[in-house]
């Protein structure tokens, strides 16, 4: 992809003075539900109304979407509210129906982005349209696979493109439904700074209480917009009930978000600074997480040493680690003095952990 600036023309042409907002229910359930939510969202910052028509569900036997009839409801949304519409497409047949029914923007779900065959099928089906197409990240944290999917669309001649960051699935349970791995989104932006990048706090958090916080982090990291699942009765939604917010709540979230404006000269300093600080915060969180994991391993070693009645301090091993870390640190521009201080502190903490296990 050479001229990524042209890929964002669709967004620049909207001339928004706030981030792009896409909102609407996880799934279209009934005509009344779709229209009620759309009318409640009408007078807000929402530009695109979303609703899943074909729903990818983890296990069979759950509600899998209303199918084609939902596209007619989306048409009504457009006629009655003036909002543009969008839905997820997962194969060539979906693309054909969505185009026939005048859906304005199509997104490709995380479970489709993982499959180069599906991405190619969708790209071929879309060839020649000027629809806006947003590609969600794949479920696994694989930047190349995400970019590869976008490239397939670009190669098929689709020039109104963007990406949606919806987090990544992990085996370990975390406070997120899908961990954001913000550094991956940052890398994405560094590679294609002009490609519109939208954040999906709903699927990242899986929890409506965390939507505000994740949305703010996304805006601090210069995301171009948000996609937020919205339902008038979230708790009784037919899918993703825990993460949807009411239209009223969405409006208050939007009001409370700090949105950076390119107004005065000081902003040219403050804005990059805020964004860099947000990146630092992400890295610091990872550091703490890693240190915590290191100490868990130290605890296990403490357990083994206790069983075998072996001394905590193993000087030879410790000197090997230090020497290796000084060398590796040098390769990353970190001074010997810093590495020695850092690893002595880490080592001391490990010893304290092991002592506790052995003596306590």
> Which parts of this chain interact with ligand PEP (CB under 6 A)?
26, 52, 56, 88, 109-111, 136, 166, 203
CB of 321 to ligand PEP, least distance (A): 41
Q: Write out the binding residues for Mn ion, residues 222-251 only, by CB under 5 A.
A: 240
Q: Given the complex with ligand PEP, which of 106 and 126 has the nearer CB atom?
A: 106
The C-alpha torsion from 86 through 91 and 94 to 99, rounded to 10°, is 70
CB of 35 to ligand PEP, least distance (A): 19
CB of 239 to Mn ion, least distance (A): 6
Q: Given the complex with ligand PEP, which of 87 and 217 has the nearer CB atom?
A: 87
Specify whether the CB–CB gap between 278 and 217 falls below 8 A.
Answer: yes
Q: Judging by beta carbons within 10 Å of its beta carbon (0-12, 13-18, 19+), is residue 95 exposed, middle or buried?
A: buried
164 binds Mn ion (CB under 5 A): no
Binding partner selected for residue 121 from Mn ion, ligand PEP, none, CB under the kind-specific 5 to 8 Å limit = none
The closest of 347, 290, 353, 287 to 319, measured between CA atoms, is 347
**Residue from 11, 20, 23, 26 in contact with Mn ion (CB under 5 A):** 26
Residue whose entry in the numeric block shows the structure tokens 């490609």? 195
H-assigned helices in 164-210: 182-191, 201-205
Q: Given the complex with Mn ion, which of 26 and 106 has the nearer CB atom?
A: 26
Binding partner selected for residue 39 from ligand PEP, Mn ion, none, CB under the kind-specific 5 to 8 Å limit = none
CB of 235 to ligand PEP, least distance (A): 17
Element housing 252 (H / E): helix 247-256
Binding partner selected for residue 56 from Mn ion, ligand PEP, none, CB under the kind-specific 5 to 8 Å limit = ligand PEP
- CA dist list (Å): 108 to 105, 254, 329: 10, 25, 41
The CA distance from 172 to 245, in Å, is 26
Tokens of 212: 């505000």
Binding partner selected for residue 136 from Mn ion, ligand PEP, none, CB under the kind-specific 5 to 8 Å limit = ligand PEP
Q: Given the complex with ligand PEP, which of 109 and 162 has the nearer CB atom?
A: 109
- CA dist list (Å): 50 to 235, 259, 285: 18, 23, 33
Please give the residue ranges that form the binding site for Mn ion (CB under 5 A). Answer: 26, 240
């Amino acid at each position: 992809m050479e001229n990524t600036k042209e890929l964002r023309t669709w967004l620049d042409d909207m001339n928004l003075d706030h981030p792009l907002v896409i909102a609407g229910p996880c799934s279209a359930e009934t005509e009344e539900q779709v229209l009620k939510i759309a009318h409640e969202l009408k007078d807000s910052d929402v530009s695109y109304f979303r609703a899943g028509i074909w729903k990818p569900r983890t296990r069979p036997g759950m509600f899998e979407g209303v199918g084609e009839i939902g596209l007619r409801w989306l048409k009504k949304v457009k006629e009655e509210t003036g909002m543009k519409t969008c839905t997820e497409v997962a194969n060539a047949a979906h693309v054909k129906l969505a185009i026939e029914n005048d859906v304005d923007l199509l997104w490709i779900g995380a479970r489709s982005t993982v499959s180069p065959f599906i991405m190619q099928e969708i790209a071929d089906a879309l060839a020649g349209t000027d629809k806006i197409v947003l590609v969600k990240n794949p479920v696994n944290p694989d930047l190349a696979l995400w970019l590869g999917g976008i490239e397939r669309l670009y190669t098929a001649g689709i020039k109104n493109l963007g990406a949606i960051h919806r987090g990544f699935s992990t085996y370990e349970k975390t406070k997120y439904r899908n961990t954001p791995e913000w550094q991956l989104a940052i890398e994405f932006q560094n590679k294609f700074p002009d490609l519109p990048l939208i954040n999906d706090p709903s699927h990242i958090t899986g929890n409506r209480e965390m939507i505000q916080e994740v949305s703010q982090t996304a805006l601090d990291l210069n995301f171009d917009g948000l996609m937020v699942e919205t339902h008038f009765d979230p708790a009784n939604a037919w899918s993703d009930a825990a993460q949807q917010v009411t239209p009223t709540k969405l409006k208050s979230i939007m009001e409370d978000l700090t949105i950076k404006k390119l107004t005065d000269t000081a902003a040219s300093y403050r804005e990059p600074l805020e964004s860099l600080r947000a990146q630092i915060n992400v890295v610091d969180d990872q550091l703490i997480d890693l240190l915590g994991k290191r100490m868990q391993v130290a605890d296990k070693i403490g357990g083994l040493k206790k069983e075998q009645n072996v001394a905590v301090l193993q000087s030879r091993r410790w000197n090997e680690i230090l020497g290796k870390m000084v060398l590796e640190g040098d390769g990353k521009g970190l001074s010997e003095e810093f590495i020695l201080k850092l690893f002595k502190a880490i080592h001391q903490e490990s010893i304290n952990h092991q002592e506790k296990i052995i003596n306590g």
